[in-house]
Amino acid sequence: MTDDTAASALLADIDDFIRQHNPETTDRIDFLRARFDAGLAWVQYPEGLGGRGLDPELQSVVDAAFAAAGAPDNAPHRNIIGLGMAAPTILRFARDEDKLRWLRPLWTGEEIWCQLFSEPGAGSDLATAATKAVADGDDWIVSGQKVWTSLAHEASWALLIARTDPTVPKHRGLSYFVCDMKSEGLEVRPLRQLTGEAEFNEVFLDNVRVPDANRFGELGDGWKVTQSTLMNERVAIGAGSTPREGGPIGFLTRAWRERTHTHNAALHDRVLRLWIGAEAARLTTARLRQQMAAGLPGPEGSGAKLTYARLAQEISSTEVDLAGHEGLRYDDYTARRPDLDEESKRPAAYRFLRTKGNSIEGGTSEIMRNIIAERVLGLPAEPRVDVDVAWKDLPR
């Protein structure tokens, strides 16, 4: 079947689906569940798991058709970790009987996911994570502390890495689990950031019980699963699907057009160069999204993430400069949870402050450069003296 033939067949099926599920009269969640069951959620996923096993390039055809019909979407900005990181990890590593159980409510947005990876003593060097998991029959008893956990206050489930064997080197003693965020012994505390928002959290696990059935990969082989999740994360952050002039560059270009009296040659050149950079990045990352959709994320995602962080910070800085003295005004430091639907109403100063985190979250820009150097360009690796040392013997 050619791409054109497959697209035509999909559009015909969508027309039929819309006739049977009128978006104006069907409950939003019921509509999304039915769309998933019809294989029109992720068309590249297998049949029965929200897809049809088709080319991931056809996803844009499906999304555009549903949008044109006025259908509700699954609010992807509210579940970026679930959709961008958990879903591909579940598809690749979860048991067959668990895939549908987690993927359907994840895609509809009924269940939010978070990621219990980073720790106070294990950020950039994630493999040194100290949260421990001790076997207890068919369960694991998990204790430790995680930090910088986005959406933990709303999440139903978490991707969790914990140390199951401290006697082997750090990369070989980790195991990967799915943790119920409603578990007894789990506490979420907000972390207030520069913007006043508590977008992130610290999470404390005190003898939290996690079933061994919720383990992904072999025991002690959690680093392999973690790498898959992290590569998907970098693509999700740096290669998000946005239209032309979407995302940070959209705010700058709108501000530019509204402030014609501030035009000058130097500023015009600066805005234009950023627009070209944003458009080049958008087009370049389209292929990375296809790789991620096909379950094949690679280290190239680090390049997309690095580029996104740099561009977002330069764009937000230019937006503040364009606004003049008004661009410096930001007085909403009240401690609060973020409203993910209010981005368009926030001032330029908010974006200037928030983008400072883009070069830290999801792996620092320095770590991204190391990955690109070693795994994309094939340059010599940095000397590492602890890779063969048992984790319990590492200095802390």
pLDDT, tens digit (0-9, with 9 covering 90-100), for 116-142: 999 998 877 899 999 999 999 999 999
pLDDT (average), residues 263-281: 89
Handedness of CA 395, 131, 102, 343 (dihedral sign): negative
pLDDT tens, 273-311?
A: 999 999 988 887 776 666 555 555 567 778 888 888 999
pLDDT at 1 over 60: no
pLDDT at 228: 86
Joined together, the tokens standing for residue 334 give: 């009240």
Query: Distance of alpha carbon 63 from its chain centroid, rounded?
Result: 19
pLDDT at 214 over 70: yes
pLDDT category of residue 395 using cuts at 50, 70 and 90: confident
Task: Report the range of poorest mean pLDDT among 8-17, 40-49, 94-103, 245-254.
Answer: 245-254
Contact 328, 320 (CB under 8 A): yes
Q: Residue 194, Cβ neighbours under 10 Å: how many?
A: 13
- pTM exceeds 0.85: yes
The reply to whether 187 belongs to the active site is: no
Dihedral over alpha carbons 249, 253, 259, 263 (to 10 degrees): 100
Which distant-in-sequence residues (6+ apart) come within 8 Å of 267 by Cβ?
A: 318, 321, 322
pLDDT at 261: 55
Which residue do the tokens 């610290």 mark? 202
Q: Tell me which of 199, 233, 314, 319 is the catalytic residue.
A: 233
Domains by residue range for the chain, with CATH: 3-73 (no CATH), 113-220 (2.40.110.10), 226-376 (1.20.140.10)
pLDDT at 94: 96
Q: How far apart are CA 280 and CA 368, in angstroms?
A: 19
Mean pLDDT of the chain: 89
pLDDT at 49 over 90: yes
pLDDT at 324: 84
